[in-house]
Amino acid sequence: MNEKIKKEIQKEVEREFPEDFALQQVHIARKLLSEEAKEKGIEFWKFIKMRVKEIKDATHSV
C-alpha cells in the first residue's frame, strides 16, 4: 500500500476523532488492514483470520 493512501487514512481518522489519539490508532489500524485485504481481493474477516493464523504459526515455530 502506498504512503499516499496511508496519509489520507490518517488525516481522515484525525478529523473524525480529533481529541482521542488512542481511538485514532485503532481506527487507522482497522482501515489499513481493510485496505490491505481489499488489495489482495480477500474479504476483511477472512483476511484477519488468515493474519491471526500466520502470527500463531510464527510464534509456535520459535
pTM score of the predicted model:
0.80
pLDDT at 62: 62
- Would you say 24 and 17 are in contact if contact means Cβ atoms under 8 Å apart? yes
Q: What is the DSSP letter of 17?
A: S
How many CB atoms neighbour CB 8 within 10 A? 13
Phi/psi of residue 61, nearest 5 degrees: -85, -5
Copy the grid coordinates of residue 52: 491471526
pLDDT tens figures, 22-47: 999 999 999 999 999 999 999 999 99
